[in-house]
């Protein structure tokens, strides 16, 4: 007997529809699969067989053929376990086949018939919702992602519960859910308890980790405010112990709360990376990623036979902190060239393009030399000129050209450390950032200044006559590239926003140049 169920797989950041065709005929018992199925999908045959038997159903004794269409689409997900099992039950008469075409099904099966969570559930649910499926069945473990997706979604814990739902029309299931007979329906309110708990936790974390804990370094705090307000790349250079890591670790707290659009994008990234349970929690906490300098290229930018997000994508809408940047492999650093410009990374595998977003706030930290004490007034540098040249060559000209702001951190003096003056707090710095963003939004700029298109540069970063002459002299004197010129203007625009100034003034350009040209 023939049956067909509808499901989906995740390709990069997108869901793609998959039809699962099942046919049972006479022949030697077994399950044969076709349709460009990966090893992960092929291994599901034994899982499905045991799950069906342990759920109390009789497993077919004939030859089972499973075809996954479209055949040209590569399938590499355990999410097809549940729709395949449902198709087998329908072919055996346990489920009415006429109901299957209205339902979308995803889920992995355990041997005892439990339904387990899957990666990439959110983009798959969104796709099934977009193509007009009346009902969607997902694992209970993906309930938080289902709450974000919306629609007529049901979270199940077992194969029997899934079969019970499939025996009904989606409209009938919806009516029973409204009357309280079905508790498996996912509602947006399911996420509210998590949101409230996370809001309190985020506030407590903000109180525990504050810029006020950092003694001195007020110039660095000013640079952090500018970088956060315009999402400008920041490089901090200073001797060990001057506070570079502490500053970077607190930067996410200075950035504004995520918009609904940013929250949704970040939730999809988390879902694809297998961190879907954290998706809702991100409303009050931006991502912060700090990979170790031994990370490989694929770990940083993503990739693999079936491409997965790298650290730059996991940092989307948050902070990517690269500590000891000059200790990273040079090829790894160079792989950031395109993502820093395009805010996305595309991998090509066997004719398919997998595109991942990576619009992050990059923060880099480095010592001035391999030993760390070049320029230190109290400790002598032991590096040779060859050591210094080799160390600094890790950061090439093209990479440095893409970093908008560079600051040097000095050793904190004893008086600053024990003086009791806290300086700027995280809340005060965040207020400055939010004030600058409101000022820009009131004047029609709803994107970060670092993202202003080149064709809008004259519109938003217009200079007066004297400012134009000053910038012209700086361009020639410091041999700036066109990219460096444009990025300097964008930083100056951010500084002007912080000062609530419609015009970019001479002092704004001077400060922006200071960050650009600092060694």
Task: Evaluate if residue 190 carries a pLDDT over 80.
Answer: no
pLDDT of 197 strictly over 60: no
Q: Which band of pLDDT confidence, cut at 50, 70 and 90, is reported for residue 177?
A: confident
Residue 143 CA to residue 116 CA, distance in Å, equals 11
User: Are 398 and 233 a contacting pair, CB within 8 Å?
Assistant: no
Please say whether the beta carbons of 44 and 7 come within 8 A: no
DSSP readout, 87-153? HHHHHTTSS-HHHHTTEEE--EE-TTSBEE--TTHHHHHHHHHHTT-SEEEEEGGGHHHHHHH-SSE
**pLDDT given for residue 278 in this prediction:** 60
Task: Please report, for the chain, the start and end positions of each structural domain, with discontinuous segments joined by +.
Answer: 2-192, 238-414, 446-517
pLDDT at 34 > cutoff 60 = yes
DSSP structural state of residue 411 = P
* Cα(36)–Cα(257) distance, integer angstroms: 43
Each residue's pLDDT tens digit, 99-127: 899 999 999 999 999 999 999 999 999 99
- CA 229 – CA 140 distance, rounded (Å): 39
Min mean pLDDT across 225-229, 258-262, 331-335, 342-346 is at 258-262
Other CB atoms within 10 Å distance of the CB of residue 294:
10
- In b/e form, how buried is each residue of 196-229, taking b as 16+ CB within 10 angstroms? eebeeebeeebeeebbbebbbbeebbbbbbbbbb
**Rounded Cα–Cα distance for residues 120 and 329 (Å):** 31
pLDDT at residue 417 tops 80: no
Mean pLDDT for all residues in the chain: 90
Single out the residue of 356, 357, 354 nearest to residue 74, CA to CA: 354
Q: Before 253, cis peptide (omega within 30)? A: no
Q: Is there a contact between 59 and 53 (Cβ–Cβ < 8 Å)?
A: yes
Q: 350-408 pLDDT, tens per residue?
A: 888 899 999 999 999 999 999 998 988 888 899 999 999 999 899 999 999 999 999 99
Residue 4 predicted with pLDDT over 70? yes
Residues 6+ apart with CB under 8 A from 260: none
* Token pair belonging to 335: 């792989």
- On whether the CB atoms of residues 362 and 487 are closer than 8 A, the answer is no
Banded pLDDT at 258 (limits 50, 70, 90): confident
* Percent with pLDDT over 70 in the chain: 93
Q: What number is the average pLDDT over the span 324-341?
A: 95
pLDDT tens, position by position, 431-453? 999 999 999 999 999 899 999 99
pLDDT of 83: 97
Q: What gap in Å lies between CA 68 and CA 75, rounded to an integer? A: 8
pLDDT at 375: 84
d(CA 372, CA 185): 58
Architecture of domain 2-192: 2-Layer Sandwich (3.30)
Position 200 pLDDT exceeds 70? no
Q: pTM, whole model, 2 decimals?
A: 0.90
Question: Which residue, chain included where needed, has tokens 């694992």?
Answer: 139
**What is the model's pLDDT at position 470?**
95
For residue 108 the two structure tokens come to: 């992995």
203 pLDDT higher than 60 = no
Angle between helices 506-517 and 465-477 (to 10 degrees): 20
- Tell me the pLDDT tens digit for each residue of 215-257: 778 889 999 999 999 999 999 999 888 889 999 999 999 998 8
Q: Which of 259, 256, 215 is nearest to 427 (CA)?
A: 256
Measured distance CA(439)–CA(430) in Å, rounded: 14
| Sheet strands side by side (includes 153-156) | 30-34, 63-69, 14-25, 2-11, 103-105, 135-139, 153-156
Q: How many CA atoms lie within 13 A of 6 on its CB side?
A: 24
Mean pLDDT to the nearest integer, 143-158: 91
Assign 3-class secondary structure to 156-171.
Answer: ECEHHHHHHHHCCCHH
Tens-place pLDDT, residues 266-291 = 989 999 988 766 655 555 678 999 99
Q: Looking at 82-86, 277-281, 343-347, 480-484, which range is the least confident one?
A: 277-281
**What is the third-level CATH fold of 238-414?**
Rossmann fold (3.40.50)
């Amino acid at each position: 007997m023939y049956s067909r169920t509808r499901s989906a797989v995740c390709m990069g950041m997108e869901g793609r529809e998959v039809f699962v065709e099942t046919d049972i005929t006479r022949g030697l018992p077994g399950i044969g699969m076709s349709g460009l199925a990966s090893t992960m999908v092929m291994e599901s045959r034994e899982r499905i067989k045991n799950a069906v038997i342990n759920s109390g159903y009789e497993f077919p004794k004939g030859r089972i053929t499973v075809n996954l269409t479209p055949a040209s689409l590569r399938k590499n997900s355990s999410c097809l376990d549940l729709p395949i099992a449902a198709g087998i039950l329908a072919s055996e008469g346990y489920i009415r086949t006429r109901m299957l075409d209205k339902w979308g099904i995803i889920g992995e099966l355990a041997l005892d018939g439990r339904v387990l969570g899957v990666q990439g559930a959110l983009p798959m649910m969104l796709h099934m919702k977009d193509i007009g499926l009346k009902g969607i069945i997902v694992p209970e473990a993906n309930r938080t992602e289902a709450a974000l997706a919306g629609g007529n979604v049901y979270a199940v814990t077992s194969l029997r519960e899934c079969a019970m739902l499939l025996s009904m029309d989606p409209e009938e299931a919806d009516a029973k859910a409204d009357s309280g007979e079905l508790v498996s329906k996912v509602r947006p309110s399911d996420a509210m308890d998590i949101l409230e708990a996370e809001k309190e936790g985020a506030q407590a974390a903000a109180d525990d980790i504050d810029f006020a804990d950092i003694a001195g370094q007020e110039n660095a705090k000013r640079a952090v405010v500018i970088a956060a307000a315009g999402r400008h790349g920041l490089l901090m250079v200073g001797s060990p112990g001057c506070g570079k890591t502490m500053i970077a670790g607190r930067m996410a707290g200075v950035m504004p709360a995520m918009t609904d659009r940013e929250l949704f994008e970040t939730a999809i990234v988390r879902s694809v990376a297998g961190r879907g349970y954290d998706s809702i929690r991100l409303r009050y906490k931006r991502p912060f990623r700090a990979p170790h300098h031994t990370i490989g290229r694929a770990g940083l930018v993503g990739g693999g036979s079936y491409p997965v997000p790298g650290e730059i994508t996991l940092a989307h809408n948050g902070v990517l902190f690269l500590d000891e940047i000059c200790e990273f492999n040079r090829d790894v650093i160079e792989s950031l060239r395109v993502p820093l410009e395009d805010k996305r990374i595309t991998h090509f595998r066997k004719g398919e393009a997998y595109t991942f977003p990576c619009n992050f706030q990059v923060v880099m930290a480095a010592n001035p030399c391999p030993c760390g004490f070049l320029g230190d007034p109290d400790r002598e540098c032991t590096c040779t000129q060859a050591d210094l040249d080799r160390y600094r060559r890790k950061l090439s000209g093209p990479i440095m050209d893409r970093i908008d702001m560079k600051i040097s951190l000095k050793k904190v003096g004893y008086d600053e450390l024990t003086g009791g003056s806290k300086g700027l707090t995280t809340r005060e710095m965040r207020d400055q950032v939010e004030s600058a963003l409101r000022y820009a939004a009131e004047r029609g700029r709803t994107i970060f200044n670092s993202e202003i298109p080149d064709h809008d540069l004259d519109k938003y970063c217009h200079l007066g006559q004297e400012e134009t002459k000053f910038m012209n002299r700086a361009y020639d004197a410091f041999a700036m590239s066109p990219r460096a010129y444009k990025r300097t203007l964008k930083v100056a625009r951010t500084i002007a926003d912080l000062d609530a100034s419609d015009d970019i003034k001479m002092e704004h350009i001077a400060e922006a140049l200071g960050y650009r040209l600092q060694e």
